[in-house]
Amino acid sequence: MRFNTAVRGRAAALAVLGLALAQGPIQGEAALSEAQSRGKQIYLNGTSPSGGDITAIVGSEQVRLPASAVPCASCHGPDGLGRPEGGVLPPDIRWNNLTKSYGHVHEDGRRHPAFDEASVAHVLRTGLDPAGNRLDEAMPLYALSKEDMADLLAYLKQLEADLDPGLAPDRIQVATLLPLQGPQGGVGQAMAQVMHAHFEDLNAQGGVFGRRLELLAVPYGASAEATLGNLRLALEREGAFALVGAYTVCLDEQVLELLREEDVPLVGPFTLDPGDEIVNAAAFYLYPGFAEQARALADDAMKERPGEPTSLVVAGPAGKRVDRLVAAVRDQAAIQRAEEPLAIRYPPGGMDPQAIAEQIQAHGSDALLFFGDRNELDALLAALAGSDAPPRVYLLSAFVSRPLFDAPPGFHQRLFIAYPTLASDISSSGLAEYQDLAQRHALPRDHLQAQIAAYAAAKLLVEGLRRAGRDLNRRELVDALEELYGYETGLTPPLSYGPNRRIGARGAHLVTVDLLKKSYQPVGGWHELR
């Protein structure tokens, strides 16, 4: 399922995506023995594979806790390199470091000879190093069985070589999920080609810290279930360090759940609407979904305007999707300490435009966020057009299926539409960079929006890999991406992430409808949510 270098957009040639290169899958540096696998569970989770008790003894007061509350990996990290914890930097506990022949000299001046199996077991149980020095109280002591200790030591010896799937000393294999045939086949092919081209250029310059970046293209199946089955099979058989630029439209929740099971980061998926379950997941989206766009609309709608009160109504058909949007608008109103918006819901397919218009007028609202379909919008605008001061109407671009230039004249520059991206997001340097890539690699001229999104996703991944450093693992990648602030791709608004922020460009573009010129006019620049 790898993308062949010779592929340049022909559907027949793309059949090579189902073939594996001679190098074979990357499932980690070395397979773990049964003892090492058991030890890995103890190291990562603090639980015994046999079901026995493992107790952690913490601090000078000897507080006893289940080891699952403070497993080794919580401080030393899954790679053993150490993570700052409470002002303390745990040491590197990879076996080659523990057993180095010249012993250890720590920053606090503490010295001791090299560890061996016996002294590692001793320090874990007593807190005393090979020279009899007592470790910092931040280091828990562990009471565990002889068998569990043997398993843990076995894994510590393999820790450095236990690489994440898709990772090898000379290469990093990442996957993408794309429709490569059928109605959306051209979109998927174009996205695969631009990511492959970027990685090919990167590899020609030495890759990322000497590792080549390889793309595993997983094709869509005949159904959602088949597509997810293809992805699961590819991850389990071939191995992938991360999923990048995947086409997840209408599959967001299912893909995210599968990647959680497999512990695979998701970088820059191509989607219409990220769901609500992305916070704290190993997922990093480029553009805002419907809820974020609705918040940007509400933010603008609730701004004070000279001579206009600020009173907001939200209307749309009953259902889960609109429920999310109404909740997002109410959250934004609370942030701005504004009056809670009036929510008007109607049965799907059963809107009474005149009744809704009367409710809006009775409420004295000057702004309406409408989440119905285009035919319902036309009917509602006609019902509102008879008022002396029709409200400003705010819409999501995905719900506007055709131009609004035939709207009643009273709505001139009173219709506002949110877009997740506009052509203006692409800087002159970003455009020149893409055009150079497209020319050198003979990229297709259509599906430009999808190509740009895929290119931005690939650049975001590479930036995260570079910031993660030479001692790469999935956790390091996630940490590196979380630290990005104002990252300029040249193709998107600046991207910022964090532990509780998974949408890089948080906000929306707003445009107003000029009925006289029959054009859309941007309202300022990127409308960023804080």
CATH (domain of 155): 1.10.760
Report pLDDT for 4.
35
Distance CA 175, CA 199 (A): 12
- Could you give the angle at which helices 320-335 and 290-301 cross, rounded to 10 degrees? 40
Tell me if 2 is assigned to some domain: no
Residues 385 and 495 in one domain: no
Residues 155 and 192 in one domain: no
Residues 76 and 144 in one domain: yes
- 349 conformational bin, left if phi > 0, alpha if psi -120 to 50, beta if neither: left
Distance CA 235, CA 166 (A): 9
Tell me if 118 is assigned to some domain: yes
Residues 363 and 466 in one domain: no
Tell me if 95 is assigned to some domain: yes
Looking at residue 431, its amino acid is L
Residues 179 and 267 in one domain: yes
Residue with tokens 């790679």, as numbered in its chain: 79
Q: Are 518 and 304 in contact (CB under 8 A)?
A: no
| CB-neighbour burial class of residue 99 (10 A; exposed 0-12, middle 13-18, buried 19+) | middle
Q: For 160, which DSSP code?
A: G
Distance CA 294, CA 312 (A): 13
CATH number reported for the structural domain that contains residue 195 in this entry? 3.40.50.2300
Looking at residue 273, its amino acid is D
Closest CA to 384 of 407, 401, 402, 400: 407
Tell me if 79 is assigned to some domain: yes
Residues 44 and 152 in one domain: yes
Report pLDDT for 110.
87
Pairing of strands 519-522, 527-528: unpaired
Q: For 48, which DSSP code?
A: -
Distance CA 178, CA 221 (A): 10
Q: Are 65 and 73 in contact (CB under 8 A)?
A: no
416: three-class secondary structure by DSSP? strand
- Structural domain ending residue among the three candidates 94, 127, 161: 161
Closest CA to 374 of 352, 407, 345, 413: 407
Residues 478 and 517 in one domain: no
Report pLDDT for 13.
34
Tell me if 8 is assigned to some domain: no
Provide the residue-wise pLDDT of the chain in tens; the chain has 530 residues.
333 333 333 333 333 343 333 345 665 545 789 999 999 999 989 999 988 899 999 998 899 999 999 999 888 877 787 766 666 778 889 899 999 988 898 877 889 999 999 999 999 999 999 999 998 888 999 999 999 999 999 999 998 878 788 998 899 999 999 999 999 999 999 999 999 999 999 999 999 999 999 999 999 999 999 999 999 999 988 889 999 999 999 899 999 999 988 889 999 999 988 876 676 689 999 999 999 999 999 999 988 665 555 689 999 999 999 999 999 999 998 888 888 899 999 999 999 999 999 999 888 888 999 999 999 999 999 999 988 788 999 999 999 988 999 999 999 999 999 999 999 999 999 999 999 999 999 999 889 999 999 999 999 999 999 999 987 889 899 999 999 999 999 999 999 999 889 999 999 999 999 999 999 999 988 988 87
- Structural domain ending residue among the three candidates 141, 161, 181: 161
Report pLDDT for 528.
87
Residues 347 and 382 in one domain: yes
Please spell the DSSP secondary structure of 383-407, one letter per residue: HHTTSSSPPEEEEEGGG--S--TTS
Burial code (b: 16+ CB inside 10 Å, e: under 16) for 23-32 equals eebbbeeeeb
Q: For 483, which DSSP code?
A: T
Residues 179 and 136 in one domain: no
Report pLDDT for 290.
93
Distance CA 308, CA 314 (A): 18
**The total number of residues written for the chain in this structure:** 530
Q: Provide the token pair at 78.
A: 């899954």
Residues 494 and 370 in one domain: no
Q: Provide the token pair at 400.
A: 């506007």
Residues 45 and 64 in one domain: yes
Tell me if 410 is assigned to some domain: yes
Report pLDDT for 16.
32
Q: What value, to the nearest 5°, has the Cα angle with vertex 242 and ends 77 and 480?
A: 50
Report pLDDT for 18.
36
- Structural domain ending residue among the three candidates 161, 176, 191: 161
Residues 365 and 512 in one domain: yes
Instruction: Show the domain range for 360.
Output: 291-419+508-528
Report pLDDT for 163.
79
Tell me if 170 is assigned to some domain: yes
Distance CA 161, CA 416 (A): 55
Distance CA 503, CA 285 (A): 5
Distance CA 494, CA 504 (A): 7
CA end-to-end span of the chain: 41
Q: Provide the token pair at 308.
A: 């206009």
Which residues, including other chains, have CB under 8 Å from residue 187's CB and lie 6 or more apart? 178, 179, 247, 447, 450
- The domain total for the chain is 3
List strand residue ranges (DSSP E) for 179-311, in order.
Answer: 212-219, 243-244, 266-267, 283-284
Report pLDDT for 353.
95
Tell me if 28 is assigned to some domain: no
Report pLDDT for 58.
93
Burial code (b: 16+ CB inside 10 Å, e: under 16) for 340-364 equals ebbbbebeeeebebeebbeebbebe
Residue with tokens 């913490």, as numbered in its chain: 58
